[in-house]
Amino acid sequence: MTAPFLEVLAATIPDLHLSTDGVDLEAHRRDETAYLEPPLPLAVAYPASTAEVAAIARVATAHRVPLVPRGAGTGLAGGANAVAGGLVVSLVRMNRVLEIDQENRVVVVQPGVVNADLKMAVAAHGLHFAPDPASYETCTIGGNLATNAGGLCCVKYGVTGDAVLGLEVVLADGAVVRTGGRNVKDVAGYDLASLFVGSMGTLGIITEATLRLIAPPAPKQTLLAFFPTIEASGAAVAGMVRCGVQPCTLELMDAFSIRAVNAACSLGLDESAAAMLLVESDLPGAAGVEELDRAERACEAAGVGLLVRAQDAAEADMLREGRRKAHWALEAMGASRMEDVVVPRSRVPDLLRAIHEIGRRHGLEIGVFGHAGDGNLHPSFIFDRDDLTGPARLQLAEEDLYRATLALGGSVTGEHGIGVIKRSWLEATRGPEAVRVMRAVKAALDPLGILNPGKLL
C-alpha cells in the first residue's frame, strides 16, 4: 500500500524533493517535545510551490495517507510530530518573501520564511513585522500562523493572528482556498483566515500569507523591578494596566528562575527578590522615559524593592538577557518541562501561588517565567535526571496545574497549542459543545482525516 503511494507521488510530481533517508526521517520524527516517542514518518516531502503541495494532498487523499505539515519543528506541543504511515510535508523550501508593499504596509510571504528573516527583509524597507516568539531566529511564519504564536511583545502588538490579512491554504483534497487579502477591512462571509490560524495543520496547509506591517518602533527603554513578594509584582502589573501604561514587554521571573539565570549567566540579578518584572517601552525618546516613569510609580505603589533602569542600549540588552535565557537556565537545573498556561491578568498572583503549591505537593522544584502582561506563564517543573519517579510526579503536577488554571478562569495553553500533549484537556477547557463544533469543522474540511490526525482534536 505504502510503496505505491510514494511511487505515484514521485510519478505525479516529477520535480518533488522526496526523502526516505533514515537520517531525514529521524530528523522529522518530532518537534521540541524530546520526551515523546512518535513513530518515524513514511517519508519527507519538500514541496517548492503551492501546486506541488496541492498535488501531494490529492495523491495522499487518493491513497488515504496522512500528511503532517511542518515548519522548523520548534513547536512545543508535538504538533509537527510524525504519525504512523504518514508523509511529513516540510515547507522549508517555500521560503521566499514574495512582495513588500510599502504603500499598503503589507508583506506577502511563503510559509517557510524564518520569522527573523522576514523581520530583516521588511526592516530594509523601513517597516516592522511585530510577532516575536522567543524562537524567532529559527521558527517559520507557517508554524507561527498554524500555532498562532505569541511572544514577548504580544502585550502591545498582539499574537501572530493579529498580523494576518490573508492566507492561501491547500485543503486535504488539494483544493486551494484564498481568504482575505490587502484590505484593512473586509467582512465578506465567514472569517476563514482566523479558522486556519492556530489550527496546527489539521484543517489545511498554509502556502502563502499576506501580513500586516507597522512602522518600526523606537529602540526599547528597559526597566527591571524586583519585588519582595509575588503579590507585590502582581499588584504592580495591575497598577500599570489601571493607569494605562502600555509597555511593549511586561515579563515576569520568579525567585527560582532568577537564581537559575544567575547560575547560568552570572548576571547578578537580586536573589533576595520573590519576583522580577522586566518592563520595556518602545515609545520614542521622552515619551518612552515618561512611560517607564509611570511604570516605576506603579511598582513603587505596589512596594517594589530594587529598581534598575538601563542607561543605554547595551545595558538594556544585558538586562533583557536574563529573561531571554530563563528557559535554558532552567533546563540546566535538571530534567525539566516548560509548561504554558494563561489566566486573566488579574489572576497571575493566584496562579503563581497555585504553581508553587503544586511543586511542593509533588516534590518538584519549580521555576516560573512568562508574559505577565498577557497572564501567560511558563512554569518549568524540574527534577533530578537520575530520579526515576520524576516523570510520573511531573505528570501529576501538570494535571494539577491545568485544573488550577481552569479554576482561575484560564486556559491550558496560551501560545504553544494543544498539539498532541494536551488533547485530553481540550474539552475541559472549551466545553463539549465547542469541541463538537470543532469536530464538525474538521469533518467538513477534511472528512477523511488526512491532515495531521491525532493532533488538537
| Closer Cβ to ligand FAD, 205 or 319, answer by number | 205
Phi/psi for 414 (5° steps) reads -100, -30
CB 255 to ligand FAD: min, Å: 22
Q: Smallest distance, Å, CB 199 to ligand FAD?
A: 7
Residue type at 430?
Answer: R
Please, which residue, 415 or 446, has the CB nearer to ligand FAD? 415
Which one, 129 or 227, has the nearer CB to ligand FAD? Answer: 129
Query: What is the grid cell recorded at 167?
Result: 492566507
Toward ligand FAD, which CB reaches closer, 68 or 302?
Answer: 68
Nearest residue (CB) to ligand FAD, 157 versus 227: 157
- Minimum CB distance to ligand FAD smaller for 80 or for 355: 80
Q: Which three cell numbers stand for residue 296?
A: 516605576
Q: Please report, for residues 8, 44, 66, 357, 381, the alpha-carbon distance to residue 364 in angstroms, rounded to integers and kept in the order given.
A: 52, 39, 38, 10, 6
Least spacing, CB of residue 388 vs ligand FAD, in Å: 26
The minimum distance between CB 134 and ligand FAD, in angstroms, equals 3
Convert 419-433 to b/e letters by CB count within 10 Å (16 or more is b). Answer: bbbbeebbeebbeee
In contact, 349 and 233? CB cutoff 8 Å: yes
CA triple 408-277-150, angle to 5 deg: 60
The Cα-based distances of 456 to 28, 74, 405, 417 in angstroms read 19, 17, 19, 8
Measured CA distances, 358 to 106, 381, 404, 433 (Å): 45, 10, 9, 30
Rounded to whole angstroms, the Cα distance separating 150 from 158 reads: 7
In contact, 25 and 44? CB cutoff 8 Å: yes
CB 79 within 8 A of CB 202: no
Name which of 147 and 281 has its Cβ closer to ligand FAD: 147
Rounding to the nearest 10 degrees, give the CA dihedral for residues 183, 185, 190, 191. Answer: 70
Distance, in Å, from the CA atom of 71 to the CA atom of 25, rounded to the nearest integer, reads: 15
Judged by beta carbon, residue 320 or residue 455, the one nearer ligand FAD is 455
Q: Which is nearer to ligand FAD, 326 or 408 (CB)?
A: 326
Residue 74 beta carbon to ligand FAD: minimum distance, rounded to whole angstroms? 3
Nearer to ligand FAD, 296 or 374 (CB): 374
Q: Closest approach of Cβ 271 to ligand FAD, in Å?
A: 24
Quote the distance between the C-alpha of residue 300 and its chain's center.
Answer: 32
Residues ≥6 apart with Cβ < 8 Å to 71: 80, 90, 91, 92, 111, 112, 139, 140, 141, 142, 143, 144, 146
Cβ 354 to ligand FAD, closest distance in Å?
22
Name the minimum Å distance from CB 311 to ligand FAD: 27
Q: Using the minimum distance from each CB to ligand FAD, give the nearer residue, 327 or 347.
A: 327
If 0-12 CB within 10 Å is exposed, 13-18 middle and 19+ buried, where does residue 186 land?
A: middle
CB of 132 to ligand FAD, least distance (A): 7
Do 157 and 131 form a contact (C-beta atoms < 8 A)? yes
- Ramachandran region, residue 100 (left: φ > 0; alpha: ψ -120 to 50; beta: rest): beta
Query: Which residues of this protein are in contact with ligand FAD, per CB under 6 A?
Result: 31-32, 68-76, 79-80, 91, 111, 133-135, 139-140, 142-144, 146-147, 149-151, 200-201, 205-206, 327, 415-416, 452, 455
Closest distance of CB 242 from ligand FAD, Å = 26
